[in-house]
A and B are shown apart, each in its own frame.
Chain A
């Protein structure tokens, strides 16, 4: 199936620093990418939707100045957690919806996730 990668797979940072997480679609072009967040023992919650070349759409309650999303190309979206604090520690997962072609345009393919720990 279609492959979505995330980098890094885990990161530990000090409070106040910024962290960038990359999400790449490896064998297909993704017009739309999604970012999810998962707190311990909870399910995944959609944070934002990003379309290539345009501003991301954030879900209610998600601070857009805190979580900067850039979708500069059809294969790459980045999530930057700015001035991270311990409460931002979480598991972040991206997904990509492909353009029509080999992979279904109606399916989201999920990355393996990035675990962020803020000290």
Chain B
């Protein structure tokens, strides 16, 4: 059974800092892994999608990596801004047709 964890559960950083969010999964047989952003009371915004055959994806200040063999993905945010404050969820699309979400990391970027 696939389990997804995220560390840390919460993170507070000053504006301008680079930061890394971590996601771990127990079963390496995955189709892809997505990182989402969720603002309070809002829906999901897809940030980056990494297919199982890929190692990383980049979009602007965001870079996500995937290491299937170790069951890990990281989301790197460069030069953080207050507008980056949100909950970040990673989601693993499994080989048995289910997407399993991690519990999320709540990020606060302090001006």
Chain B residues within 8 Å of A32, by CB: 97
Contact of A44 among B31, B49, B101 (CB under 8 A): B101
List chain B residues, Cβ under 8 A from A104: 51
The interface bits of chain A over 31-54 (1 if a CB of B lies within 8 angstroms of the residue's CB, else 0) are 010101000001111100100000
Q: Which of A68-76, A78-86, A109-117 contacts B (4 or more CB under 8 A)?
A: A109-117
List residues of chain B with CB within 8 A of the CB of A115: 41
* Contacts known (A43-B89, A49-B98); A106 close to B42, Cβ less than 8 A: no
Say yes or no: is A30 at the interface (Cβ < 8 Å to chain B).
Answer: no
* Complex contacts, A34 vs chain B, CB 8 Å: 98-99
- Measured between C-beta atoms, what is the minimum distance from B105 to chain A in Å? 11
CA distance A95 to B89 in the complex (A): 15
Minimum CB–CB distance from A26 to chain B (whole Å) comes to 15
> Is the beta-carbon distance between B102 and A110 smaller than 8 angstroms?
no
Task: Say which size band chain A's interface belongs to.
Answer: 20 to 34
User: DSSP class of A's interface residues: helix, strand, loop or mixed?
Assistant: strand
Asked if A107 is at the interface of the complex by the 8 Å CB criterion, the answer is: yes
**B interface footprint on A80-100 (CB within 8 Å = 1, 0 otherwise):** 000000000001010101000
B31: which A residues are within 8 A, CB to CB?
A: 106-107
B89→A44 contact, CB < 8 A = yes
A108 at the B interface (CB under 8 A): yes
Q: Is the CB of B99 within 8 A of A95?
A: yes
A1 at the interface (CB under 8 A from B): yes
Contact A111 B49 (CB under 8 A): no
Q: With the chains together, A91 CA to B104 CA distance in Å?
A: 16
> A43, B32: Cβ atoms under 8 Å?
no
**Residue B60 interfacial (CB < 8 Å):** no
Interface residues in B47-100 by Cβ distance below 8 A to A read 49, 51, 89, 91, 93, 97-100
